[in-house]
Amino acid sequence: MINEVAENKEIAQQYKELLRISYRRLTNSDKKLIRLAFDVAVDAHKDQRRKSGEPYILHPISVAKIVADEIGLDSTSIASALLHDVIEDSKYTIKDIKIKFGNSVSKIVHGLTKISNLKKDKYDSLQAENFRKMLLTLNDDVRVIIIKIADRLHNMKTLDSLPKHKKEKIASETLFIYAPLAHRIGLYNIKSELEDLGLKYTDIRRYNQIKNKIEKSKERQDHYIKKFSLMVRRTLNKEDFKYDIIGRSKSIYSIHSKMETQSIPYESVFDKFAIRIIYDSDIANEKFIAWKIYSIVTDHFTPNPTRLRDWITAPKSTGYEALHITVSGPENQWVEVQIRSKRMNEIAEKGYAAHYKYKQKNKKDIGIESWLDRLQELLKSNSVDAIDFVDDFKLSLYSEEIFVFTPNGDLISMRKGSTALDFAFNIHTEIGVKTRGIRVNQKLVPLSSVLSSGDQVEIITSDAAKPNINWLNFVVTSKARSKIKSSLNEQKKVTANYGEEILKRKLKHLKIKLNEKVAELMIKHFKLRTSLDLFYLVGIGSIDNEKIRDFSSNYNNKFISFFKNKLKYDSLRINKKANNESNKLVFGNEQQSLIYNLSSCCNPIPGDPVFGFITVSEGVKVHKKGCSNAMSMQSKYAYRIIAAKWITSVSDTFVSNIKITGIDNIGLVNEVTRVISNIMNVDIFKINFIANDGIFEGNVGVKVSNKTIVNKAIKKIEKIKGIEKVTRE
């Protein structure tokens, strides 16, 4: 039974909390704006409830609190957050919002409504093209995306009321897109929250393991931070600095990522927390004090010279500024020390919003704005495939940066790993497509040369130059790739028009009229994707007279075509029957038997948590839930994911690969093979060991019936003297 009095009290309490957070820095007109937005939101959502059963109005209030407190945005943003679902869920229109709140709020609310409507496709999934359209709202106001990230954070915090498959879909989508997007906008705290919650709903077992270990080690960590602080405080105090020293654990997801990428246990992750020294300073002395503190810390502790990160001299494009050093601290433990001013710390905590505030005061340029401009140019280009765009965009979100110079001495920020040709397209598309050669530090270099920070780059252009297909192998940035593809497509269209005319004449000679149906049959015959590919291959002569006559023969002999198709159908039916007779997996809630293949990217075996992915041409592919491609598939193609369950008999065998590293000893290979051979139901079918300077790497391919047997083999191998690490690939 609903207790309206208790609910109204809770709504009032949450609203008061929002006011307490935001009123400290708002004018009277700001307060009136927020109050009006709250009243409209309450009226719009008065009869609505969330899946959990609570009043819906609590959701926009919570999003507004995140916007106000964790991000620190203005009253316009807070009001927009309160109103972000009003148009979608009530009688209010965008015109009503504009009349009541003005242009700024209505523009943001309209952008948020467009994003919400994108998800209402027939698959209820965030598709690649929809994501591209969502990012186009950045053109309206970057606050649209920031509020959307806050909305996603609150939704992630309240996922428990949803069914398991929806939790996994939303969590995968969050890890794939929203967490990297928060990172790129500089919302590092929110990024960490999104990642931790994403891991919680995609791998609860791993999440709880790491969480419990962090909590158990907290007392030891606090003691370590205190010990470190005592050793540097005396010297810092002598300099009369105003500062704080705090310690912060790395996020659960960050530790998980290190364990995954390095194939190491929790205990082997050496930098599980960082120490921050946050000092008070005016802007004129910020850099001087930072390096002074650096000098004091490195006087006490030996620094790792390869781990110095100077983001004060050259800030990240997100606006992030700090000095990061890794030192050998007390007890010879490696520890990361981050040195930042209070201003830098606020930017690190609140990202774009804080940077924007300081820019207003200091008229400094913000790197993120140039990134947003480049993103807009890419978004508006239809020359890049939507799926490629999402993949390239995700890479650009997390990428580190380098800084290179033009011949005039201008400093250009680029993604780490960028090539000389990427630089040309970064300067201007027209320069990129006309690139004839490139000089780096006054030396002529290949177009594919990877740039480093500090390089000076000069582009040599020619009107006769034009991109070729190999250029796609020379670039890593989305902008360069899309512009090269666009230029190649233009060239391809010209050749295809020529090829279409040739094909018409040749088919006419064979008494076949080229129409849509014939073109479709030819595309299937030559295993192509589009008519453009067909005409282009005719234009360049790859599909010659002999191949066209071969198609004509099949086209005219309809009886043979029918007979071939019947044989193909009968073969498929027999294969399906044979597969079902020895079926090892069932799919969906009804536990259906379907034709499937085990994916080679993760080699799932019985006992592994798995799912089915419906491919376009290869039927159902089965992947491990922890597969490196799983997050991408869940995010982009959730409607093609189906649940899968093992029902394996003991006689079934599956391929698995065991990777072994360690110190090379005489007889080690014999010992490894002996240990594996002694385990029941394990068959070694492949073994490969390479030794180099006393270290070896080995791969052992085994056939087993389930995951338990593989794990047993791994544990026994780990006990062999000289073995450093054993993992299953």
Does the annotation mark 96 as catalytic?
A: no
Q: Say whether 30 is catalytic.
A: no
Residue 218 makes CB contacts below 8 A (sequence gap 6+) with: 249
Q: 683: how many CB neighbours lie within 10 A of its CB? A: 12
Residue 483's closest CA among 352, 597, 378? Answer: 378
Rg of the chain's alpha carbons, rounded to an integer? 30
DSSP symbol at 134 = H
DSSP 229-253: HHHHHHHHHHTT--EEEEEEEPPHH
Give me the residues paired with residue 323 across strands: 310, 339
Hey, how many other C-beta atoms are within 10 angstroms of the C-beta on 18? 21
Quick count: other Cβ atoms within 10 Å of Cβ 222?
A: 12
SS3 581: helix
Token pair for residue 312? Answer: 């004060």
**Residue 710: Cβ-neighbour burial (10 angstroms; 0-12, 13-18, 19+):** buried
Single out the residue of 243, 291, 271, 428 nearest to residue 334, CA to CA: 271
- Cα gap 309→307, rounded to integer Å: 6
Residue 495 CA from chain centroid, whole number: 37
Cβ contact 609:644 at 8 Å = no
The one catalytic residue in 10, 30, 54, 89 is 89
Query: Per the structure block, which two tokens stand in for 484?
Result: 């090269």
Q: Are 707 and 624 in contact (CB under 8 A)?
A: no
| CB-CB contact of 688 with 661 (8 Å) | no
Say whether 425 sits in a helix, a strand or coil.
Answer: helix
Distance of CA 128 to the CA centre of its chain: 13
**By the 8 A CB rule, do 668 and 649 touch?**
no
Could you give the CA distance from residue 435 to residue 420 in angstroms, rounded to a whole number?
Answer: 10
Nearest to 104 by CA among 155, 45, 183, 29: 29
Nearest to 457 by CA among 486, 430, 421: 421
Q: Which residues contact 551 (CB under 8 A, 6 or more apart)?
A: 521, 522, 525, 526
E runs forming strands in 377-479: 401-405, 411-415, 435-440, 443-445, 457-461
Q: Which of 10, 88, 96, 310 is catalytic?
A: 88
- Secondary structure of the chain: what % helix, strand, coil (to 5)? 55, 15, 25
Q: Helices 342-350 & 352-362, crossing angle to 10 degrees?
A: 140
Q: Which residue has the tokens 């799912």?
A: 611
Query: H or E stretch including 725?
Result: strand 723-728
Catalytic residues: 88-89
